[in-house]
Chain A
Amino acid sequence: MIINHPLLGPRDMAEFVYKGDVCLIDRPDGMQEGIEAFHDYLHLRDNPAGEHRELWYHEQGDRSWLVVTRNTLTHEITDVALARDVARERGRTR
């Protein structure tokens, strides 16, 4: 697979490390949420067959975190964004 990095252009997936579902950005607030919320955040996944938004880390490159939108049935990548921008859109400060 080739990941089209927003800053660096097309890069081989071997340069990246895979983290998992993009929902890992939405960490619950430790002062507000209970243990169930943290259990669900840390352990439960939708694991869809089809479009999947997921975190990749460009370890052998510029060390940026990316949100890749990829089809888990065909491996087709339809969108790549910087995780920082996605996190801000979702209300995180950084």
Chain B
Amino acid sequence: MHYSAFRIFKEAMTGNRGWKPAWRDPDPKSEYDIIVVGGGGHGLSTAYYLAKEFGQTNVAVLEKGWIGSGNVGRNTTIIRSNYLLEGNQPFYELSMKMWENLEQDLNYNAMVSQRGILNLIHNDPQRDAYARRGNAMRLSGADAELLDREAVRRMCPFLDFENARFPIQGALWQPRAGTVRHDAVAWGYARGADSRGVDIIQNCEVTGFRIENGRCLGVETTRGAIRAKKVAVCVAGSSSRVMAQAGMRLPIESHVLQAFVSEGLKPIIPGVITFGAGHFYVSQSDKGGLVFGGDIDAYNTYAQRGGLPVVEDVCEGGMALMPMIGRARLLRMWGGLIDMSMDGSPFIDRTDIDGLYFNGGWCYGGFKATPASGYCYAHLVATDRPHPTAAAYRLDRFLRGAPIDEKGQGAQPNLH
């Protein structure tokens, strides 16, 4: 069914009896060409691009819970392509270009809103660093502009410019960045994949891999064994647990990142703002809630909930940046599990087991990568060659001395 204004009008005239479920609920077949493990944003987009771009329609997506129940619905919905390093920035700019055309491509309203991101500058070294980053962004074809203090003041007069410790000196501005309705991304990709023949199988947990003579022949699940020519794992947050079933140890720790929403307020924050002197970022949803977050809790966990010290730290960051939010009440907060990798960058790679592929390690930045991650992963799985923009995301990059460490923190996952 094609969604359009005409369709809404027609359905309104006919009692809304024509709406159908957006995807089927099939039972698993005994064999597929490709199995994607994980029905989150990346898994669903992988299946969608496998079908649409690479002609692979005998594909199943296996999801332990219901699709979109994990991190695609738990993030703070920000999209941006403001990375520094060669291995990262072209990939994220590809993702940004794909976001810009996503809704037309999927025929699904994902509320892609390019309202811009301000990375605030508080001192001279930071301005130098952001000037360098902005140049790297523009070299990749992205947009970036270095703003002075007055330009930031015109945009966001409510910020604490005269803060004694961290006065705001300017910002790096990416106008094409913004926010997206995250659940709609999962649903749109699911609908698009399903309409091209992909089986989306929910409540189907993978409990093991069938591996013989170094080759992956399928998976064991809670709904029976399923054979496959290729298995593509895509379960960031739980990567270590799932890949341990294939006997692999990963350069990943699982951590929790908290997110927060205030009560609904009148429109005040025009885009996305990041505090440069602490870890705090904020945007305002279309419903009016301030959506914000900060640091990870910084210890290994699979609990999908965080602790109060980080809540306090995030709120202190917000108060330092915009004291006006002090009277706003917190409506909801939650945690999402994230794969923290050893250099803060992700993996899209083959494994040493033939026919078994791995996508994970997205740290706290997986949502913005959803379209490009799915596209590049589908490229790798379908053609057995990495997509050029994702060629650096190899599992052996630490052994080769080629980490992609944006922050330069070394192999300490909770510092990235």
Binding site for B on A (CB under 8 A): 1, 12-14, 18-21, 35-36, 39-40, 42-49, 52, 54, 70, 72-75
Contacts and interface: CB of A to CB of B under 8 A. Distances in A.
A20 B254 CA distance: 11
A43 B240 contact: no
A19 B410 CA distance: 13
B300 A54 contact: yes
Nearest to A73: B302
Q: Max chain A CB contacts within 10 Å: which of B250, B301, B342?
A: B301
Contacts of A54: 299-300
Contacts of A42: 342, 398, 411
B257 to A, nearest CB: 15
A92 B299 CA distance: 25
Interface in B203-258: 238, 240-241, 244, 249-254
A43 B252 CA distance: 8
A20 B411 CA distance: 11
> Chain B contact residues: over half helix, strand or loop, or mixed?
loop
A43 to B, nearest CB: 4
A48 B243 CA distance: 11
A72 B300 contact: yes
A93 B241 CA distance: 34
B399 A47 contact: no
Interface string B365-401: 0000000000000000000000000000000001100
Contacts of B238: 49
A43 B309 contact: no
Contacts, number: 68
A83 B302 CA distance: 24
Contact of A72 (B301, B307, B411): B301
Contacts of B303: 72-75
Contacts of A13: 299, 307, 309
Given A44-B249, A45-B252, 8 more contacts: A13-B307, A18-B414, A21-B253, A44-B250, A45-B251, A52-B300, A70-B299, A74-B303
A72 B337 CA distance: 11
Contacts of B413: 20
Nearest to A50: B302
A35 B399 contact: yes
A48 B398 CA distance: 21
Interface residues on chain B, size class: 20 to 34
Contact of B301 (A19, A21, A75): A75
Q: Max chain B CB contacts within 10 Å: which of A1, A40, A45?
A: A45
A47 B307 contact: no
20 contacts: A1-B307, A12-B309, A19-B412, A20-B413, A36-B399, A43-B342, A44-B250, A45-B249, A45-B250, A47-B240, A47-B241, A47-B300, A48-B240, A49-B238, A49-B241, A52-B300, A54-B299, A54-B300, A72-B254, A74-B303
Contacts of A35: 399
B251 A44 contact: yes
A62 B41 CA distance: 45
Contacts of B333: none
A13 B302 CA distance: 18
A39 B252 contact: no
A43 B302 contact: no
B315 interface: no
Nearest to B400: A39
B411 to A, nearest CB: 5
A62 B88 CA distance: 41
B298 interface: yes
Contact of B299 (A12, A18, A40): A18
B9 to A, nearest CB: 50
A46 B398 contact: no
A39 B299 CA distance: 22
A46 B249 contact: yes
Nearest to A39: B399
Contacts of B241: 47-49
Given A1-B307, A14-B309, A35-B399, A47 B414 contact: no
Contacts of B240: 45-48
A75 B241 CA distance: 17
Nearest to B339: A47
Contacts of B299: 13, 18, 54, 70
A43 B342 CA distance: 6
